[in-house]
């Protein structure tokens, strides 16, 4: 039996636009071509750079591993930047004491 995907909801309502903007900024810094007006399309750029065939619409041919590589690159890059930002903020707060 196939599992139904549930749409993940954000902890902070209304944060979606800020997260999309953050994604666009971070992925641009990582060297990917990102249209800030359509940050979710960066997945196609990431897939192309990895040699994975990803197209708008049905991608039923994609393996779980391939999908994970694409999402992992995007999510991992965003998480690394959030950690860097948090460390910088902690260091700045420590230096003010």
- Residue 23, token pair as written in the block: 């994604």
Q: Quick check: is 8 in a domain?
A: no
Question: Is the predicted pLDDT of residue 27 greater than 70, yes or no?
Answer: yes
Does residue 9 fall inside a structural domain?
Answer: no
Reported as a single tens digit per residue, the pLDDT across 38-87 is 999 999 999 999 999 999 988 999 999 999 999 999 999 999 999 999 99
Residue 12 lies in a domain: no
**Domain total for the chain?**
1
Is residue 86 one of the residues assigned to a domain?
yes
- The burial class, CB within 10 Å (0-12 / 13-18 / 19+), for 6 is exposed
Would you state the pLDDT for residue 5? Answer: 59
Domain of residue 70 covers 17-22+30-54+62-96
Q: Please name the residue that has the structure tokens 């750029």.
A: 45
Residue 2 located in a structural domain: no
Q: How much is the pTM? A: 0.81
């Amino acid at each position: 039996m196939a599992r139904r995907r549930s749409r993940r909801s954000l902890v902070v309502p209304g944060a979606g636009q800020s997260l999309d903007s953050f994604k666009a900024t971070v992925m641009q810094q990582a060297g990917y071509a990102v249209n800030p007006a359509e940050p979710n399309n960066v997945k196609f750029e990431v897939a192309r750079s990895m040699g994975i065939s990803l197209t708008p619409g049905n991608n039923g041919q994609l393996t779980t591993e391939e999908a994970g590589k694409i999402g992992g690159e995007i999510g991992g890059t965003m998480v690394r930047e959030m950690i860097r930002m948090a460390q910088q903020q902690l260091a700045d707060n420590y230096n003010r004491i």
